[in-house]
């Protein structure tokens, strides 16, 4: 059962190659590092009285395991599935087990202005919101949205 912001963190998941932010294609992804993004997420969540559980993996199965963990122990999920957006039915299936848990998909670049294969995201089929093309600021927007949705769910309960 999904938890509230008062008793559970927001899980922020990052997919493959995001550990190289700041080094990898800065013309697309900018110069901020994953540590910079984590600090931004922590600061944004704190404004809502929330915390974050920030993770990154290059391995699809590990992301699936973390999503399964989130459905029981977290108030919501922010996910940048990176390249798995376009290929992973397994991540979609895991997210689909998270009934009632707010999920927001985030992309640093505007995937709709990039190669055609990047225009489709399996994750978007489950996401309550999708943020793309806002740079790392998109993570702050995503944390705010999950916090709002988790708070709204708590207020209705």
* Active-site entry in 29, 84, 122, 139: 29
User: Which of the 8 DSSP states describes residue 9?
Assistant: P
* Active-site entry in 74, 84, 107, 139: 107
User: Which of the 8 DSSP states describes residue 110?
Assistant: -
Closest CA to 43 of 129, 156, 154, 139: 139
Does residue 107 have an active-site annotation? yes
The phi and psi torsions of 74 (rounded to 5 degrees) equal: -135, 160
Q: How many Å is the maximal CA-CA distance in the chain?
A: 45
Does residue 29 have an active-site annotation? yes
User: If 0-12 CB within 10 Å is exposed, 13-18 middle and 19+ buried, where does residue 49 land?
Assistant: exposed
Catalytic residues: 29, 107
């Amino acid at each position: 059962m999904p938890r509230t912001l008062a008793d559970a963190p927001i899980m922020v998941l990052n997919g493959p190659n995001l550990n190289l932010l700041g080094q990898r294609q800065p013309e697309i992804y900018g110069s901020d590092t994953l540590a910079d993004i984590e600090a931004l997420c922590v600061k944004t969540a704190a404004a809502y009285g929330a915390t974050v559980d920030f993770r990154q993996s290059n391995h699809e199965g590990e992301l699936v395991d973390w999503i399964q963990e989130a459905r029981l122990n977290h108030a919501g999920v922010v996910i940048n599935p990176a390249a798995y957006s376009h290929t992973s039915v397994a991540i979609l299936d895991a997210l689909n087990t998270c009934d009632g848990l707010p999920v927001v998909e985030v992309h640093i670049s505007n995937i709709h202005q990039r190669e055609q294969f990047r225009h489709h995201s399996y994750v978007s089929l489950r996401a309550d919101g999708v943020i793309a093309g806002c740079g790392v600021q998109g993570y702050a927007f995503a944390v705010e949205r999950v916090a709002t949705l988790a708070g709204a769910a708590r207020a209705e309960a």
